[in-house]
Amino acid sequence: MPSRATGLAGILERLSLQEKWGLAVTLLTASLVFAYNFDSPLSTFAALPGAFVAVFIAVAAHEAFQRWTAKRLGCSAAFEMWLPGVIFSLLMMLLGIKILAVGGAVVLAHKFSRFGMRERHASIEEVGIISMAGPAANLLLATFLQPFAGPAGLAAAIGYLANINAMFALYSLIPLKQIDGGNFMMWSVVFWLLAVMWALLLLTPYGLLPSIVTF
């Protein structure tokens, strides 16, 4: 009997075709947004590979922790791309405004009985905690990496990865229903505000905050 796939391969096997397409579009969109240089658009091509690797790590951490949290609560979480948000993000990128609004987690709760599995409605708390898990994973990763960041070499790459995770978390906290931040804020405004402040504190020392909010 073949062993069940684990790790990244196992996660990919459990993704629906719609999720795979949505995550692929998300990876490409986020990589373009983070790599794009309004003053020198052609330099985007040189920055794109590094941005893609960093975004891939950020998305993997985000999705894995969200799914793990959902499983612990007896639920399941699936990524749902928000196409209008993807288009908006790309249009804003061309105007020199870095913003990312590509989608978020859809939570499905399950109730187990002797006859099998039946669907039930997830509570606001369950949905909020699961929505919080994704941005929290990125904030924790950025916080862990930041002390090892530096101006050159491997330290610079670590700093870049920390920045991408902090920015990805901040964008995930946008309080819209289609993004994790909407459900998170509906559950707890206090925790949502603390998470936003955490992300901003991680970004401010690197001077990235002005580039996010400046038109």
Tokens 């099998």 locate to 116
Q: Which of 47, 51, 46, 45 is nearest to 31 (CA)?
A: 51
- How many CB atoms within 10 Å of residue 156? 12
Tokens matching residue 190: 């206090």
What mean pLDDT, rounded, does the chain reach?
A: 85
Q: What tens digit of pLDDT does each residue of 26-56 get? A: 999 999 999 998 888 888 899 999 999 999 9
pLDDT in tens, 89-120: 999 999 988 899 999 888 877 655 555 555 66
Phi, psi of 208 (to 5 degrees): -85, -25
Residues 176, 101: contact at Cβ < 8 Å? Answer: yes
5: left (phi over 0), alpha (psi -120 to 50) or beta: beta
Task: Convert the pLDDT of each residue in 63-91 to its tens digit.
Answer: 999 999 998 988 888 899 999 999 999 99
pLDDT, residue 212, reads 47
- pLDDT of res. 151: 84
pLDDT digits (tens, 9 = 90+) for 160-175: 999 999 999 999 999 9
Under 8 Å between Cβ of 166 and 111? no
Residue 214: predicted pLDDT: 39
- Residue 12 clears pLDDT 70, i.e. is over it: no
> Using 50, 70 and 90 to split pLDDT, how confident is the model at 191?
very high
Write down the domain spans for the chain: 17-35+44-213
> Do residues 119 and 110 make contact, with C-beta atoms less than 8 angstroms apart?
yes
Assign 120 to helix, strand or coil.
Answer: strand
Whether 1 has a pLDDT exceeding 50, the answer reads no
Question: From residue 16, how far is each of 8, 39, 149 by CA, in Å?
Answer: 14, 39, 36
SS3 25: helix
What's the pTM?
Answer: 0.84
Q: Is the pLDDT of residue 195 over 90?
A: yes
